[in-house]
Amino acid sequence: MTDLPHDIALLAAQRHHDPHTVLGVHPTSSGFVVRAWRPMAQHVALVTAAGELPMHRVGDALYAANVATHPESYSIRTTYSDGPAHESADPYCFPPTIGELDLHLMGEGRHQELWRVLGAHVREMDGVRGTSFAVWAPSARAVSVVGSWNGWNPVAHPMRTMGASGVWELFIPGVPAGAQYKFEVRSQHGSTRGKADPLAQRTEAPPRTASVVTDSTFQWTDAPWIAARPTRETWREAVSIYEVHLGSWRRNPDQGNRSLTYVEHAVELIDYVVEMGFTHIELLPITEHPFGGSWGYQCTGYFAPTARFGDPDDFRALVNAAHAAGIGVILDWVPAHFPRDDHGLACFDGTALYEHADPRRGAHPDWGTLIFNYGRNEVRNFLLASALYWLQDMHVDGLRVDAVASMLYLDYSRNEGEWIPNIEGGREDLDAIVFLRDLNEVTHAAHPGIAMCAEESTAWPGVSRPTSSGGLGFDFKWNMGWMHDTLHYFQNDPVHRLYHHHELTFGLLYAFSEQYILPLSHDEVVHGKGSLLSKMPGDRWQQLANLRAMYGWMWAHPGKKLLFMGGELAQPTEWNHDESLPWHLRDVPEHAGVQRLVRDLNTVYRDQPALWRADSDESGFSWLEAADGANNVLAFCRFGGDAKPVVCIANLSPVVRHDYRVGMPLGGPWHTVLNTDDRVYGGAGVDTGPLIADGPSWHGQDQSIVLTLPPLACVWLMPR
């Protein structure tokens, strides 16, 4: 039996956990009573098919009217002092929008379309159009929806709890797409916080923090691409990735130096990527984030593309345009940690809900962020659903999972006594391992042909091996060891490279233990590290030659390729996320030459299967010369089944090497398919000379060739 005065007090104090037991239609001894909660109203009336009936104030903001029969449908007409009467259907007369099966799957952490249940959804209920709201906040004392339609009044629209599930739900008639909203969450201790919707699919543009009701009308035209995706075997294909920060790739100087929109990127970025011969773009996280300086790596909106560049349908247009041009889209995704911003996930319902309560597990010492509790079903479900959302609803072709090493180790960046061992006494985060394996199993089962990539910087075994054999199940692992060794080698003056020769050869000892991506990413050109060009030793000519040689070495080396934007321009200064790339460098011949080299590297790379078909198989690689550190010369051959072999010879000294003999896998005539010292790239134009493999056995090969090696250059040779 309802204790009306007590219920009124709870509603007024924003503490009622189930307002539907009070509001809406309820039987009485003589018929039915309709109750409505209308704070600050002057006049309230019940409107039914029989006409309009005044509702009487029975306490605080509660109004009631008695009727003889249950009204099949009705609305509430409300008059306020500052405007005309407003009529709408009653939010508290509708059944729940979430079913028992949904709640059961959420509790088990197995709801693979969570974004269709939680969050805000425009829908029609019993012929009435409005928006349903649902949020998980199990320890909250009460939750209400506040928004642009109710004056952000926390007592206007209290939600009901869905039992032990911890989900709160309410359908509000008349709320349209485009309305801003938050959840006002009251903790058990009485404090309240306005929280953005964790499953919002659209947000306000920062620094504003509200969520936005959205209802997509986008019409995809990439059905052929999506239909073909399950047949893709990316590890056996040419993959050359252009890593992009959308906010600074290209800006519009005629309009306040603003960033381009998603729609503008759909034309300008995609055209450029096609022109440059890349196969994929990888976007630094576009999941909504409050601080632009985090580049998206500290996000609060795991289901919303940042509003900085447009709305969700605009982002869909960018992905659609990429697919139309034959370009795959990889999205950086961050399940390792999240920021402490008040409107975000931190202490969401007044407790450590998404994070661990103990800071030895829940606080990240390096980044000042919070770490997800992977042992909680609902938290794992939240992250799994986020991954599936981008793959399914946004059609992206893969995810690059950030900071995997920080997830795997409980003592990551922690000193002794600052971390808690697992139940076996070890340093491995067993919950995170289970999550990562689930992530890769679920995403690959739902979307075959996608590429799941791990940024994992340690020697953890089997990162890109199947879960069935004990691996983590990723398709690719970033080869951070290769990156560090290669950059360190090239940063040394050639006169000292003899002592660092092993830095270019060591990577081949483990190159086939994983399926690798070779990354020259944004991380290498920030925080005082300088640009790739500025890392190179010598005068300006030598710096450019070294950079060209490094690119030639990288594109021939086993492993897929990734280059951060600006690297193709030989950008002389460190990347600044608040500025555009220096596009004027295209008018400077030596920089234009590097750009042309990257384009030609991509073209030859894609055209020659020997350079990618056996990337993760040692049968696809053979050293020809690995020990000539004294001359800074290395040579190897790439094979790809029945494809023609490609020989790469690198002379990483500034001295021309005349009459240099190299063993060759085939006799007869060869030709140069790429020379990073070519004049069109800004080089000296030293020619290799006639290329006839007819000499004695050499380097373990039956044939050999004598040629001239250009200085600080890589040459690629193929048999005619």
Residues noted as catalytic: 402, 455
Q: What are the Cα distances from residue 720, in Å, to 646, 670, 674?
A: 11, 5, 14
Residue 449: helix, strand or coil by DSSP?
Answer: coil
Block residue for tokens 């499953």: 199
**14 touches 157 (CB < 8 A):** no
Beta strands in 557-702 (DSSP E): 560-564, 621-625, 633-638, 646-651, 657-664, 668-675, 692-693
Distance in Å from the first CA to the final CA of the chain:
92
User: Which of 181, 190, 406, 203 is CA-nearest to residue 315?
Assistant: 203
Residue type at position 394: M
Classify residue 375 by burial, with Cβ atoms within 10 Å: 0-12, 13-18, 19+: middle
- Tokens read off for 673: 């398919």
DSSP calls for 224-283: HHHHHGGG--GGGS--EEEEE-TTTSSEEGGGTTEEPPHHHHHHHHHHHHHHHT-SEEEE
Q: What are the Cα distances from residue 304, in Å, to 51, 102, 233?
A: 44, 22, 29
- Tokens read off for 205: 């543009």
Q: What are the Cα distances from residue 67, in Å, to 8, 35, 38, 75?
A: 21, 11, 19, 14
CA angle 199, 98, 210 (to 5 degrees): 25
- The pairing of strands 646-651 and 86-89 is unpaired
